[in-house]
Each structure stands twice: as C-alpha cells, then as structure tokens.
Amino acid sequence: MSPTKTSHFALARLSTFATTAIACTAFAAALGCGGADSPDPKMPMNSPAPAVETPPPPETASTTPAVDMPPNKSAADTAPLPVAPTTPAPPSLTDEQILAITNTLNSAEVEEGKVAAGKAKNGEVKKYAQMMVKHHGEAKTKQAALVKKAKLTPQESDMTAALVSENKKGLDELKTKSGSDFDKSYVDAQIKEHKEVLDTIDTKLIPQAKSADVKTFVAGMRPTIVHHLEEAQKLQTLLNK
C-alpha cells in the first residue's frame, strides 16, 4: 500500500473512532443529566424501582356522637322502662243489666229497712227504717211497670252478683247487733251505701243507659237517694251526741 493510501485509511479510521466517541459521550451525558427522573447509574437497569411508602390516611372524627353517661350509670340504667300493660275497660252495661242493678239496690234497702224497723232502739232510727221500706218498695213497683211497658227483662251481670254478695254480708253482720250498737251500725251502713249508690248512678247507670225510659227512671231515683243520705247523716249526728 502506498503512503498516500495509508494516510487516507488512517484518517478514515480516526474519523470513525471520533464519531463513535462523540456518540457515546452524548449518550452518557443523557443518562447522567436526565434530572430526578433519570435512573441511578449505580442501579442495574433491570432492577425494580424502590417501593414508595404511602403515608397512612389522616384520622377522621367519628360521625357517631358520643353519649355522655351520668356518673355510676350504665347503659342498662338509662334504658327506657317497660310500659305496663293497660287493663281493658269493662264492657258497657245494657238497659237490661241496669234494671237488674237498680232492682238489687232497692231490694237490699227494703230488706235492711225491715230488719231495722224491728230491732232499732231509737225512735228516729225506726222511722227512718220504715221510710226506707216505703220509698224503695215504691221504686220497685215503678220499675216493674217500666219493664212491662218497655218489654225488657232484667239481666244479671258481674256488678249485680257483686252487689248481692256485699248486701248479704252487710245484712248478716247487722243482724248480730242489738240496742244502740245496732242503731249506730245501721245508720253508718246507710250513709256508706247511699254514697255508693249515688256514685253508681252518676258514673255508670245514667251515662250507659240507652233507652230514654230507662235513663229517666234511673235519674228519677237520684233525688230520693240524696234525701235518704241527708237524713241518715242527721241521725248519725244525733246518735253521736
């Protein structure tokens, strides 16, 4: 090979090496100067990226409001109290049952009056007992006419049964008394019984009567009952002197 050709070949080789060196330098600069996103030159190219630690979520306040418990109180202590079962109201009285009640009340006063008229020591008590027999006997007669006219048949009820039992007990006890003790016991019983009868008339018999005739009959008894009560109270004052 001639010296001229050798020189040209050397220059070509040198140019190629220079071009390659420049390209490698540029590539290396690109790798080293890529900023925060450039890979670490010390880290192998195929190594996985380091795991980024995720901070825990911030604590949030509970949406359920806190319940302030009184000192020394538990949840059981503040729980609502159970509701007591209600007692059903008794059924309304029929006209037939009302007539059975009034007949029972009048009959009891007649029976007690007869006993008192025979055993009373005080003359005023004896007169009172005779008045009871007369007035309540008349009431029984009026009721019999009403029953016939209205074609009603008195019907027993729980209230009637209770009255019969109570009246019998009172009459049996009254029969064991005598003298002034009998007079006081009879008059005291009359005051108690007539107060109860007035309450029964006002709260049960008149409000629950359906027939106008029955309502009128029961209401007509009331003034006589009030008069009997007032007379018994006068006798009680007299006997206690």
Cα(28)–Cα(30) distance, integer angstroms: 5
Helices marked H in the chain: 3-32, 95-119, 123-150, 158-175, 179-200, 206-208, 212-239
Rg (CA), the chain: 57
Q: Are 106 and 143 in contact (CB under 8 A)?
A: yes
**For residue 12, pLDDT beyond 70:** no
Give the type of residue at 125: V
Distances (CA, A) of 69 to 63, 64, 79, 80, 97: 18, 15, 12, 14, 57
∠ CA 68-73-74, rounded to 5°? 85
Q: 61 versus 208: which is more confidently predicted?
A: 208
Average pLDDT over residues 8-15: 46
Contact 143, 103 (CB under 8 A): yes
Give the span between the Cα atoms of 173 and 185, in whole angstroms. Answer: 9
How much is the pLDDT for 241? 86
Question: What local confidence, expressed as pLDDT, does residue 186 receive?
Answer: 97
CB 156 within 8 A of CB 93: no
Picking from 126, 136, 160, the residue whose alpha carbon sits closest to that of residue 227 is: 136
- Superfamily covering domain 95-239: Ferritin, core subunit, four-helix bundle (1.20.1260.10)
pLDDT digit string, tens, across residues 17-49: 445 444 445 444 444 444 444 444 444 444 455
228 pLDDT band (50/70/90 cuts)?
very high
- Distances from the Cα of 170 to the Cα of 36, 65, 165, 176, 205, angstroms: 113, 66, 9, 10, 23
In this structure, of 14-28, 112-126, 137-151, 203-217, the range with the lowest mean pLDDT score is: 14-28
**Tens-digit pLDDT profile for residues 177-198:** 999 999 999 999 999 999 999 9
Taking only the tens place, the pLDDT of each residue in 80-119 is 666 666 666 667 999 999 999 999 999 999 999 999 999 9
pTM for this one?
0.64
Calpha distance 97→83 (Å, rounded): 34
Q: Give CA–CA dist 173/167, Å, rounded.
A: 10
To the nearest 10 degrees (0 to 180), the angle between helices 212-239 and 95-119 is 30
Report the 10 Å Cβ neighbour count for 10.
10
Q: What is the average pLDDT score of the chain? A: 80
Q: At a CB cut-off of 8 Å and minimum separation 6, what does 178 contact?
A: 119
Query: How many percent of the chain have pLDDT more than 70?
Result: 63
Q: Which position has the higher pLDDT, 72 or 99?
A: 99
**One-letter amino acid for residue 91 of the chain:** P
Domain residues of the chain, as ranges?
Answer: 95-239
7 pLDDT more than 50: no
